[in-house]
Amino acid sequence: MSSITFAGHDLTGVASAELVEPVAHAVSPVTARVPGRPGLALLGGDVEPLELAVRLFLDDADATTVAKRSDARARIRSWLLAPAGGELVVPGEPTLRWRDVVCTGVSDWSSLFADGSAVVTFLCMDPIAYGASGSSDGLSFAVGGTWPTWPTLALVAEAGTVVSVACGNSAFTLERTFAAGDVVMVDCAAQAVTVGGEDATADVTLGSDFFAIGPGDVAPSFSGCSSHVVRWVERWA
């Protein structure tokens, strides 16, 4: 049985763990009243923070001394107490990571001298897990996962005044004087752009969109660029 890693602490060798997996994500609906119709109109929904419960088992609890069991429990308490939050990896999902996680609940140890198990509850403020990283310098590529992800783009500009990228129904355009070879970095999650390492977000044209990609096949188009690299991290609901 594997264990968990939380806020930089790997519990392997101290406690094994099993995940009590939730069936699905909960959605908080966004609604509005519409005159002339009953009930509410659904405008959309927000994905709520995800609660994950993990059962911990002290390793070799019945074969160790009282002092060693006490030390193990003290270390676990210390490692779980992370008010600033941290990254969580759970058993059965070794390639996925949840970010901005805090421990919000703990049960009593069921036994101090036998299996020494307890249930720990984590709240993932970002409810969509992060998976494998990917990159492509092609004009089409596949993005894994089950949820859209925000890419970063590294573009090498041609001499001119416009660099633009379009993907699906979204596009953004950067207007300024470019020298051939200028490196343009676009962070869609942060909605930030730099040219040659200097902030150029003010040069993004009105109406531009910082877009998400995937999951599935993606085919962005580029203008004013001699080369490009798109990077992303898969997201899993």
Q: Rounded mean pLDDT of the chain?
A: 93
B/e letters for 109-138, b = 16+ CB within 10 Å, e = fewer, are: beeeeeebbbebebbbebbbbbbeebebee
Please report, for the domain that includes residue 172, its CATH number: 2.60.120.860
User: 153 or 116: whose pLDDT is higher?
Assistant: 153
User: What's the pTM?
Assistant: 0.86
Q: How confident is the model at residue 166 (pLDDT cuts 50, 70, 90)?
A: very high
Q: What is the pLDDT of residue 153?
A: 97
Residue 143's SS3 state is strand
Q: What is the pLDDT of residue 113?
A: 47
The model's pLDDT over 173-225, given as tens digits with 9 standing for 90+, comes to 999 999 999 999 999 999 999 999 999 999 999 999 999 999 999 999 999 99
Q: Among the three residues 71, 94, 127, which one is the final residue of a domain in this structure?
A: 127
Give the structural domain span for 226: 131-236
Instruction: Examine the domain organization and report whether 142 and 32 are in the same domain.
Output: no
Instruction: Examine the domain organization and report whether 107 and 174 are in the same domain.
Output: no
B/e letters for 88-106, b = 16+ CB within 10 Å, e = fewer, are: bbbeebeebbbeebbbeee
Instruction: Examine the domain organization and report whether 16 and 117 are in the same domain.
Output: yes
Exposure of 26 in the CB half-sphere (CA atoms within 13 A)? 10
Does position 115 have pLDDT exceeding 60, yes or no?
A: no
Instruction: Examine the domain organization and report whether 11 and 104 are in the same domain.
Output: yes
Instruction: Examine the domain organization and report whether 113 and 68 are in the same domain.
Output: yes
Does position 124 have pLDDT exceeding 80, yes or no?
A: yes
* Of 112, 128, 104, 95, nearest in space to 54 by CA: 104
Q: What is the pLDDT of residue 63?
A: 58
Q: What is the pLDDT of residue 210?
A: 94
Q: What is the pLDDT of residue 77?
A: 94
Query: How many domains is the chain built from?
Result: 2
